[in-house]
């Protein structure tokens, strides 16, 4: 009888451990990218400034937010945007062609932004929440990791308006800034990058 009790206790503990080990982790929060996102780059030359953009981003991407895995200064994310470099429009035909050529649009047709983490979960409200995060940017066959300044805000439909801002250099991706007229017009190495997304939360 005593042996039976010990066996029953052992079996109970084994079943309990099995349940604990196989208990599924909480599902991540999903931020679904809605139509209408944009990416803008601003730069300067020795004679003027310019702005190029990709508007109307419409891919049905999803960013996964692992709130249950947050550690100090690190909230893991998973998701990626893929933008066609050929959609860049500088609102000037020659400048548009120069930028696409410089970014090697034919050889590497996509600019990719992969979301890595946030320093904390944003306070989602009608007031702006400013936090930092990390992304990998792939351009012209090169991948570079950057810290991005984010601004989060809820709109009237309770969707998340996300603004990300970061300065990058052509040289970060092994690229040479475009030049014209025998080098008389020279583009500066630095570009200011800004992307805007509207996100819908699905828990």
For residue 120, being part of any structural domain is answered with: yes
Residue range 157-176, pLDDT digits in tens: 999 999 999 999 999 999 99
Domain count, the chain: 1
Whether 56 is covered by a domain: the verdict is yes
pLDDT in tens, 187-197: 999 999 999 99
Q: Specify if 196 maps to a domain.
A: yes
In contact, 39 and 74? CB cutoff 8 Å: no
pLDDT over 90 percentage in the chain? 72
Per the structure, the complete domain to which residue 60 belongs is given by: 25-202
Residue 157 belongs to some domain of the structure? yes
Query: Contact, 178 vs 99, CB < 8 A?
Result: yes
Residue 42, domain member (yes or no): yes
User: Is residue 14 assigned to a domain?
Assistant: no
| Residue 11 belongs to some domain of the structure | no
């Amino acid at each position: 009888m005593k042996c039976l009790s010990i066996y029953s206790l052992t079996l109970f503990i084994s079943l309990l451990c099995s349940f604990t080990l196989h208990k599924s982790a909480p599902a991540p929060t999903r931020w679904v990218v809605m139509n209408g996102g944009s990416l803008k780059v601003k730069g300067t030359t020795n004679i003027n400034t310019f702005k190029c953009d990709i508007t109307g981003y419409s891919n049905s991407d999803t960013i996964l937010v692992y709130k249950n895995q947050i550690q100090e200064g690190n909230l893991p994310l998973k998701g990626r945007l893929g933008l066609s470099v050929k959609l860049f429009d500088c609102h000037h035909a020659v400048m548009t062609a120069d930028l696409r050529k410089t970014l090697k649009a034919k050889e590497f047709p996509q600019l990719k932004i992969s979301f890595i983490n946030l320093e904390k979960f944003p306070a989602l409200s009608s007031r702006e929440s400013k936090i930092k995060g990390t992304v990998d940017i792939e351009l012209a066959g090169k991948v570079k990791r950057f810290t991005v300044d984010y601004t989060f805000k809820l709109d009237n439909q309770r969707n998340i308006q996300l603004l990300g801002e970061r300065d990058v250099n052509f040289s970060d991706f092994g690229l040479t800034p475009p030049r014209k007229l025998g080098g008389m017009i020279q583009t500066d190495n630095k570009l200011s990058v800004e992307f805007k997304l509207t996100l819908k939360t699905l828990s």
